[in-house]
Amino acid sequence: AIAYSAWNRVGLERANSVVMVQQPKAMILHAPHQRENYKPAFTDGVWEVTRISDGDTITVRQGNDERRIRLCGIDAPEKNQPGGKEAKEFLARIISEGGDRVGMTFVEQDRYGRWVGEVWSAPETFEEQLLNSVMIGHAWPYTKYWGNCPNRSALAASEQSAEQSGRAIWKQPGAIAPWEYRKRNR
């Protein structure tokens, strides 16, 4: 038996079946398999990260296709806002630890032409993590836009965990939500 946390998705290639972990609690899977047979679940491919703009926006490339991606369901502090530099550095570190490659699940395009999606670090490995969820604490949960995020339950669990652990940026003294910060500084 292998246990996976709520933050991971699990794909097992076995008679075209895939198991997706979206619950806010761990599941035990009884499925013997070899690590080399592991495949990511529900992904739009593996992409190389070419740029990290801030804590919620990256640029990825797959062959000749380059796209700017906004992480679904979160809003990181702006670059010149308190916490902005730290959020970008945290995201860069996690992406680097995953080999600068990410798995993408594209959700939609926003009004600025960016793709909005779920981003998975260390794709095609057992260390795969949902970056949208991992960033909560360094970024605000953007519940207004959770509706289309396939793993919004993981985002909600991360929000609760960040608050309980005291690492929620929105609970810091003087914290201003990025959407409010942008309104004030237009």
Which residue is catalytic, options 78, 118, 128, 159?
A: 78
Q: 101 an active-site residue?
A: no
Which residue is catalytic, options 70, 101, 118, 152?
A: 70
**pLDDT tens digits for 126-141?**
888 999 999 999 999 9
Which residue is catalytic, options 86, 114, 124, 163?
A: 114
Q: Taking 90 as the threshold, does the pLDDT of residue 47 lie above it?
A: yes
Long-range contacts at 84-89 (CB < 8 A, ≥ 24 apart): 84/54, 84/55, 86/138, 87/54, 87/55, 87/56, 87/135, 87/138, 87/139, 87/169, 88/52, 88/53, 88/54, 88/55
Q: 114 an active-site residue?
A: yes
**Model pTM above 0.85:** no
**pLDDT tens digits for 129-175?**
999 999 999 999 999 888 889 999 999 999 999 999 999 999 999 99
Q: 70 an active-site residue?
A: yes
